[in-house]
Each structure stands twice: as C-alpha cells, then as structure tokens.
Amino acid sequence: MEKLKDALDFSDFSRAEQIGLIIFSIFLLVFPWLGSGSFVKAVMIQFLLFSLFGMGWNTIGGYGGQVELGKAQYVGIGAYTVALLMVWLNIPFWISMPIGVLIAVGYSFIIGYPLFRLKGHYFAIATICTSLVLQDIFTNWKLVGAAKGIELPIHEHPDFLYMQFKSDNYYYYFIMVLFYCTLFYMNWFRKSKLGYQLRMIKDDEEAAESLGIDIRWCKIKTYSIASAFVAVGGGFMAVYNLYIDPASVMDLDLSIKIALMAMLGGAGSLWGPIIGAAFLVPLDRFLGSWLGGHKGLIGVDFMIYAALIMVVSAYQPRGIWGIIEQFRGKGK
C-alpha cells in the first residue's frame, strides 16, 4: 500500500511541476477528441512510446549513472516474443507480453553479470556489442524470419485479446496507459530503497559500499528493470506496426535515439526522458516528412540531432532539464 502511495505522490515536486503534470495529463486524455489528423496522432503515439523507452533507459542510464547504448536489444526481445508467439501459437498479447518481459529480464541478468564489471566507455561499447551480436543473430536466423522479419496476421475486428484495432485511438489510449504505468513506477522507483542506493553510489561509491550496498548487484537489478519496461514497449510496437524486423526493432540507431532522448531531456530526472521525447519525436517526424520530399536533404534531420547532442554535451550535460534547473536554483 505504501508503494502505491509513493507512486502517486508527486508532492516533493514544485507547484509549477505539479500543475504542469496535471495540464499535460488533461491534454493527453482529451487529445484524440481534438480532431487532429492521423499523422499527428501517429506522432503522439510515437512520443508516448519513446517516453516509455526513455524512462526505462533512465533507470540505468540516468539514476544508475551508466550510459548504455544497447537498449534496442530489449525492444527486439519484447517485440519478437509477442510476434512469434502469436504467429506460431496464436497466443494472445496478454500472455505473450509477460513472457517477453520475463525473457528480457532473464537475458539482462545473464549479460548484466559480466557487463557490470565495466564502467564508462568500456561499458557503453560493450552494450553496443551485445546489441549488435543479437541483431546479427536475428538477421541471419531463418527460424525467426531473418532479415525479412515477421508479419503479424491481421484480425478483422477490434480485438482486446490480441490488441489489434483498426482505429488508432485504441492504440493511443493503450500506450497512454502504459506511459502512466511507467511514470508512476519511476516516481516510486526514485524514492525506493534501490533509488536511494543508486543515488548514494553516484554521490560517493566508497561510502555506499561501507553502508552495505552491493554496487554491482544494484546496477544489475536496475538494468533488468530498464530492460523490462523497454521490452513492453517492444511488444507494443509489434501489435501496433504489425510488422517487425531486426532493423526496425533491434537496430543501433534505435538504441542511440532512446539514449539520446533521455539524455537531451535530462538523464537522472523524472521528466527528462519525457521532455527529450517531446522535443525529438516531433522533430524527427515532421522534419523527416518535410525533408523526405526533398531528396537532396536526406540526413539533415539527423545532422540536427547530432549537432544538438554535441552542443548539449559541451555546455549542459544534464540536458534540457538541467538548463531549466539552472534557472531555478536546485531541483529534483
């Protein structure tokens, strides 16, 4: 019970932040009725999805202080589990998704154990390696569709068992619910024992050890939590896009985007990943569709993100949220 209270308790944030959250939530709730086109709706769904990914990344990359660039492998695990179980055994989403999460968590413990002997760039590169290895395996494994990927069979009627709908509105509310679940979890997490321990580790590792904290184990646990959330997002992608392949769900680019959004918005803060996604997803989509028309401008959108990363890392590594906090003094 205390856990639930903690999850819903935003009282340690400033008035402004609380009001902002309420306004934002109201907006999210009524958005589908505002009569926007399907393109904008798709952008909103992407935004919520990437916020979810970003918040997942934030547990280990932000609170845990270990920047990792391999989140996509968990998106892939979640997506493929849901897709394959459905295609092979006709298993509904609500059963295949938890299985996907379990696999993701199991996998994260297995590679987490050796992985967390490393820190800093060695660690980051190693996360890229594991992700690339998994992607290579999936791209060449005929059993799971290799490079061609998997197409999910389309169900004619709105189907809550398999989470397939004709109207985007259903998907929108679904991802919105997932988004809030993640947000509440994060709100609880930062106040939990593990959250405190991670903060101590970041502040003063020696002291943390002297206070009974098994640093490596803490980080592995955090990493597994991150992978669980990201896998859920992957499962969503499977039923939303109805088509997955290694390039779309396991690619290094996806890992980079996820980490980038969280870092740009402000890693280590609750709102950071959401801000980052709010900034970059529309930028990506609108810029992409605008530039897509001009063939000569391929790549410019990424150049802009890259320039953004460069500027932010040189001047305010704590991201947009860090900039906001600078104006206010101190924050959470």
Smallest gap from residue 151 Cβ to another protein (A): 23
Binding site for another protein (CB under 8 A): 2, 6, 65, 67, 69, 114-115, 117-118, 120-122, 124-126, 128-130, 132-133, 136-137, 139-140, 191-193, 196-197, 199-200, 202-204, 206-215, 252, 256, 263, 296-300, 302-303, 305-310, 312-315, 317
Give dist(CA 96, CA 92) in Å, integer: 6
Q: Which of 135, 130, 134, 132 is nearest to 112 (CA)?
A: 130
Answer for the pair 258, 237: CB distance below 8 angstroms, yes or no: no
Answer for the pair 184, 7: CB distance below 8 angstroms, yes or no: yes
Q: Which of 213, 210, 82, 214 is nearest to 152 (CA)?
A: 82
Q: Which residues contact 281 (CB under 8 A, 6 or more apart)?
A: 43, 46, 47, 50, 261
Q: Which residues contact 1 (CB under 8 A, 6 or more apart)?
A: none
User: Looking at beta carbons only, is 163 or 201 nearer to another protein?
Assistant: 201
Smallest gap from residue 18 Cβ to another protein (A): 20
User: Looking at beta carbons only, is 176 or 260 nearer to another protein?
Assistant: 260
Smallest gap from residue 72 Cβ to another protein (A): 14
User: Looking at beta carbons only, is 41 or 190 nearer to another protein?
Assistant: 190
Smallest gap from residue 107 Cβ to another protein (A): 14
Smallest gap from residue 144 Cβ to another protein (A): 13
**Three-point CA angle 300, 303, 304, nearest 5°:** 90
User: Looking at beta carbons only, is 62 or 100 nearer to another protein?
Assistant: 62
AA identity, residue 37? G
Smallest gap from residue 318 Cβ to another protein (A): 9
User: Looking at beta carbons only, is 174 or 188 nearer to another protein?
Assistant: 188
Helices 120-140 and 93-115 pack at an angle, to 10 degrees, of 140
User: Looking at beta carbons only, is 20 or 120 nearer to another protein?
Assistant: 120
